[in-house]
């Protein structure tokens, strides 16, 4: 029964994300001037989508392997970031597949494109804040962790009563044993996100036609949204798990320290925020704005 509840909760959250994605897709519409060589842009849109789907398939396969890698919870913790990295690689492949400007006469405006022109205003700062929370939380849990009974360092939370008479260790606790793989995978995801965003911003324009430029801008913004959402999922999902596990350990140790219970409730707040963010990022990934010529 206890194992069914998290699964049911996950299904509900995914359904909420799908509903949110449908609402987002209905409300997001990009107006572009009529004319131009839009069929070319449609073809590159298809190429990008297929690359992303291929990345998603690779990510699902890799996350399945990650799940089976470790029976102590590290596999489950890394499954979502590995899936996100697959999606980021697919997005990068799609961006690299966009053809360079060609033809005898090529035009360019003297605009300066910056990442902040395309990154989503809410999702990107949220991902940065979640990353900061994850790093701080894992640093604190690593600093307070102890070795378990088999000598694996950074796996349990050992505490003593104020008078030193009672000593108790509980786990799992997200100490260094869990923190280093997660931080390593998050570093890879961050670098990959930065690389894809750089490519999204710096790749060539399809020309000077206003319609083509408008569609191109919309495509760049959508790619930046996918990158942010994939990275956000990489951080938010494991952060939810880490916060819940740490809160559980603190609740079990609440008899030994008065601050343990409030700390556990604070961690549950972090878990709630991270889970809500994960739903938001999943909805961002699933939504697709429409282009309409006027």
**What residues line the site for other proteins (CB under 8 A)?**
25-26, 29-32, 34, 38, 42, 45, 100-102, 104-113, 201-205, 208, 215, 218-219, 222, 288-294
- Choose between 148 and 216: whose C-beta lies nearer to other proteins: 216
Cis before 172? omega within 30: yes
- Choose between 155 and 205: whose C-beta lies nearer to other proteins: 205
Nearest-5° angle of CA 223, CA 226, CA 231? 130
Q: Which two tokens stand for residue 169?
A: 């260790």
The DSSP symbol for 102 reads -
Burial of 183 (0-12, 13-18, 19+ CB in 10 A): middle
User: Minimum CB separation from other proteins for residue 204, in Å?
Assistant: 4
Backbone angles phi and psi of 273, in degrees to 5: -60, -45
- Choose between 40 and 268: whose C-beta lies nearer to other proteins: 40
User: Minimum CB separation from other proteins for residue 208, in Å?
Assistant: 6
The DSSP symbol for 163 reads T
User: Minimum CB separation from other proteins for residue 5, in Å?
Assistant: 36
- Choose between 106 and 116: whose C-beta lies nearer to other proteins: 106
User: Minimum CB separation from other proteins for residue 219, in Å?
Assistant: 6
User: From CA 91, how far away is CA 156, in angstroms rounded?
Assistant: 38
- Choose between 95 and 148: whose C-beta lies nearer to other proteins: 95
Q: Which two tokens stand for residue 251?
A: 């609740």
Q: Which two tokens stand for residue 46?
A: 């298809």
User: From CA 194, how far away is CA 170, in angstroms rounded?
Assistant: 38
User: Minimum CB separation from other proteins for residue 221, in Å?
Assistant: 9
């Amino acid at each position: 029964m206890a194992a069914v509840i998290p699964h049911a909760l996950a299904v509900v959250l995914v359904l909420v994300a799908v509903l949110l994605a449908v609402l987002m897709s209905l409300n997001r519409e990009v107006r572009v001037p009529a004319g131009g060589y839009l069929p070319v842009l449609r073809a590159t849109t298809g190429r990008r989508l297929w690359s992303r789907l291929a990345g998603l398939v690779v990510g699902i396969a890799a996350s399945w392997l990650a799940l089976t890698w470790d029976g102590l919870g590290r596999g489950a913790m890394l499954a979502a970031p590995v899936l996100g990295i697959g999606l980021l690689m697919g997005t990068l492949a799609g961006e690299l597949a966009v053809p360079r400007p060609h033809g005898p006469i090529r035009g360019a405006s003297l605009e300066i494109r910056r990442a902040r022109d395309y990154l989503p205003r809410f999702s990107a700062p949220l991902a940065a804040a979640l990353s900061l929370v994850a790093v701080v939380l894992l640093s604190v849990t690593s600093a307070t962790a102890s070795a378990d009974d088999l000598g694996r360092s950074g796996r349990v939370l050992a505490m003593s009563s104020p008078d030193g008479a009672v000593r108790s260790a509980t786990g799992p606790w997200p100490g260094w044993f869990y923190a280093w793989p997660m931080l390593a995978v998050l570093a890879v995801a961050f670098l990959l996100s930065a690389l894809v965003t750089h490519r999204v911003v710096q790749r060539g324009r399809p020309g000077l036609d206003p319609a083509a430029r408008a569609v191109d801008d919309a495509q760049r913004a959508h790619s930046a949204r996918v990158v942010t959402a994939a990275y956000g999922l990489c951080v938010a999902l494991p952060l939810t798990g880490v916060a819940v596990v740490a809160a559980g350990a603190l609740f079990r140790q609440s008899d030994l320290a008065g601050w343990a219970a409030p700390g556990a409730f604070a961690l549950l707040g972090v878990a709630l925020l991270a889970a809500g963010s994960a739903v938001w990022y999943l909805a961002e990934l699933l939504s697709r704005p429409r282009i309409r010529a006027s």
